[in-house]
């Protein structure tokens, strides 16, 4: 494989790597380019990307329409502060998102990461009550298996036991965490809790249909309908965190469409720019926005990231929305779902495999026991694929434009590598 590039050897010791014990975990792969569904390594190898760069690259890498839109915007204005100024890419994107989401959405708050978008949603829900003169509604109801981000506020609404932030338990504000209302018992438990504690809550937060980083845990649309009904009964804001599920990943443009209900606040990110540039959005209903519309300056939402509504990111997002309108993305997701089901079904019944599940362009093989993740990732790379499992969960979230041959390489690698190691 040859020696590593000079930039790699000189710089690796100075970066803090994500989700990694840097003393013991193997060094990362040096990557020099990406195209379509392929990652090009410095040693000349190409890996089929099964993760889509943490679920963002829905159109594949280097789509010319997005690249050209970013290049045009770069010539005009790469960035300008959003405080006191406005620009066409952001205002056009805000209008398009509101039209795409439909009623009751009205206002878009732009940020630069999913964690911040969720934190803004939490802040909106709490302050909306404060602006209306109700104090004490400072907590959000969250659910086991959930993941909403890595900032201090969002860590506090992740799964407190199974999530990756348990270390911070004593340092985080406490929010109630229940089981999702999947059946009669858990639905009753939710209602009993709300009857006793609803007036302490600003709202309810959930990842619709799929709890992503918490383990790719699926739930039925009926769960969302129960949460909408519970929120309405108790006058609570309902927040759908669609950072992972939005923009086609579950088979519809937004996951909530499959339940026939809408939240009061929705968070968007990941695929918003097609994996091109950092951008996220928190979109609020007219009712939520009305709580901030006031002659009192203290009722303003005092939040504003430095790179809020970055013009390059907004240009990329507008181009990404163009592609959803002009290219058959949802048809491609349906085809991926069929191929994932066929390709991963062979893992059902394999020793060490406890579940195989598919939802849209998400394929999951869950093992009975956590494997040797270091060995597993290395074996995947040797097999010519980039798959990054966590815990007992091996998953695929490929680009919607992936070829059938590349997708077959991914499913075949899971069966031949992961299922063998699980035995």
Decide the pairing of beta strands 46-49 and 385-386. parallel
Is 19 a known active-site residue? yes
pLDDT at 1: 45
Q: Which fold has domain 6-59+328-422?
A: 3.90.1150
Sheet strands (E) in 318-361: 353-359
**Identified catalytic residue from 112, 241, 264, 406:** 241
Residues of CATH 3.90.1150.10 domain(s) within the chain?
6-59+328-422
Q: Where, residue-wise, is CATH 3.40.640.10 in the chain?
A: 64-326
Catalytic residue among 270, 359, 377, 406: 270
Note the pTM of the prediction, 2 decimals. 0.97
- Read off the tokens for 326: 């002009």
Q: Is 147 a catalytic residue?
A: yes
Q: Is position 8 annotated as part of the catalytic site?
A: no
Q: How far apart are CA 37 and CA 46, in angstroms?
A: 10
Helices (H), 132-274: 152-155, 184-197, 221-234
Whether 79 and 312 have beta carbons less than 8 Å apart is answered as yes
Note the pLDDT of residue 157: 96
pLDDT at 291 (0 to 100): 98
Low-confidence residues in the chain, pLDDT < 50: 1
pLDDT of residue 422: 66
Quick one: which H or E segment has residue 284? strand 280-285
Q: How far is the C-alpha of 399 from the C-alpha of 381, rounded, in Å?
A: 18
Instruction: Give yes or no for a contact between 56 and 275, defined as CB atoms under 8 angstroms apart.
Output: yes
DSSP string, 120-169: HHHHHHHHHHHHTT--S--EEEEETT----SSHHHHTTS-TTTSTTGGGG
Residue 395 bears catalytic tag: no
In three-state secondary structure terms, 378 is: helix
Give the architecture (CATH level 2) of 64-326. Answer: 3-Layer(aba) Sandwich (3.40)
Catalytic residue selected from 61, 147, 307, 395:
147
pLDDT at residue 2, rounded to an integer:
54
């Amino acid at each position: 494989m040859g020696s590593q590039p000079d930039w790699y050897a000189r710089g690796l010791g100075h970066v803090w790597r994500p989700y990694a014990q840097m003393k013991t975990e193997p060094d990362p792969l040096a990557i020099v380019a990406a195209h379509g569904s392929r990652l090009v390594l410095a040693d000349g190898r190409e890996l089929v990307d099964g993760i889509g760069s943490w679920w963002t690259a829905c159109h594949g890498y280097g789509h010319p329409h997005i690249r050209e839109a970013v290049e045009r915007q770069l010539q005009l204005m790469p960035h300008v502060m959003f405080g006191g100024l406005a620009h066409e890419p952001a205002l056009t994107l805000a209008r398009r998102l509101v039209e795409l989401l439909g009623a009751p959405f009205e206002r878009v708050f732009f940020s630069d990461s999913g964690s911040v978008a969720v934190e803004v949603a939490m802040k909106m829900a709490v302050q909306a009550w404060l602006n209306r003169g109700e104090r004490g509604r400072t907590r959000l109801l969250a659910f086991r298996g959930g993941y909403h981000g890595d900032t201090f506020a969002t860590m506090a609404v992740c799964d407190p036991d199974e999530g990756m932030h348990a270390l911070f338990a004593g340092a985080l504000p406490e929010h109630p965490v229940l089981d999702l209302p999947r059946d009669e018992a858990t639905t009753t438990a939710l209602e009993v809790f709300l009857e006793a504690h609803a007036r302490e809550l600003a709202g309810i937060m959930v990842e619709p249909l799929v709890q992503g980083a918490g383990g790719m845990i699926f739930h039925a649309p009926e769960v969302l309908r129960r949460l909408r009904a519970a929120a309405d009964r108790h006058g609570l804001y309902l927040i759908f965190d669609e950072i992972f599920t939005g923009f086609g990943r579950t088979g519809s443009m937004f996951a909530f469409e499959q339940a026939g209900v809408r939240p009061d606040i929705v968070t968007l990110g990941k695929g918003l720019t097609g994996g091109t540039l950092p951008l996220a959005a928190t979109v609020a209903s007219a009712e939520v926005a009305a709580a901030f519309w006031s002659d009192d300056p203290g009722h303003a939402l005092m939040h504003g990231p430095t790179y809020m509504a970055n013009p390059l990111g907004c240009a990329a997002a507008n181009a990404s929305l163009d592609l959803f309108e002009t290219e058959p993305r949802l048809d491609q997701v349906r085809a991926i779902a069929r191929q994932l089901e066929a390709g991963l079904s062979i893992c059902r019944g394999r020793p060490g495999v406890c579940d195989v599940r598919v939802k849209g362009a998400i394929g999951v093989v869950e093992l009975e026991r956590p494997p040797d993740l270091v060995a597993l990732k290395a074996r995947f790379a040797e097999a010519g694929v980039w798959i990054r499992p966590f815990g007992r969960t091996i998953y695929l979230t490929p680009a919607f434009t992936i070829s059938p041959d590349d997708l077959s390489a991914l499913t075949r690698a899971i069966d031949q590598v992961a299922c063998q190691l699980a035995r």
